[in-house]
Amino acid sequence: MNQLSPSLRSQDMRINQQETCFQGFFRMSKLTFSHRLFQGGWSPELTRERFDRGPAVGVLLYDAQLDNVVLVEQFRVGAIHEASPWVFEVVAGMIETGEQPEEVAKRETLEETGASIQTLTHICDYLVSPGGTDEKLYLYMAQVDSTGISGVHGLAEEGEDIKVHTLSCETAFEGVRNGTINNAATIIALQWLEIQKLKGLL
CA 142/CA 58 separation, integer angstroms: 10
Evaluate whether 65 touches 106 at the Cβ level (below 8 Å): no
CA 5/CA 23 separation, integer angstroms: 36
Q: What is the pLDDT along the chain (202 residues), one digit of tens a residue?
A: 578 899 999 999 999 999 999 999 999 999 999 999 999 999 999 999 999 999 999 999 999 999 999 999 999 999 999 999 999 999 999 999 999 999 999 999 999 999 999 899 999 999 999 999 999 999 999 999 999 899 999 988 888 999 999 999 999 999 999 999 999 999 999 999 999 999 999 8
| Span between the terminal Cα atoms of the chain, in Å | 34
Full-prediction pTM beyond 0.85?
A: yes
Q: Which residues contact 141 (CB under 8 A, 6 or more apart)?
A: 59, 60, 61, 62, 120, 121, 123, 189, 192, 193
Residue (of 90, 86, 41) closest to 61 by Cα position: 90
Pairing of strands 162-168, 91-94: unpaired
Phi-psi region of 43 (alpha: psi -120 to 50; beta: other; left: phi over 0): beta
| Catalytic residue IDs | 158
CA 195/CA 43 separation, integer angstroms: 42
Taken in order of first residue, the domains within the chain and their CATH numbers are 11-52 (no CATH), 55-198 (3.90.79.10)
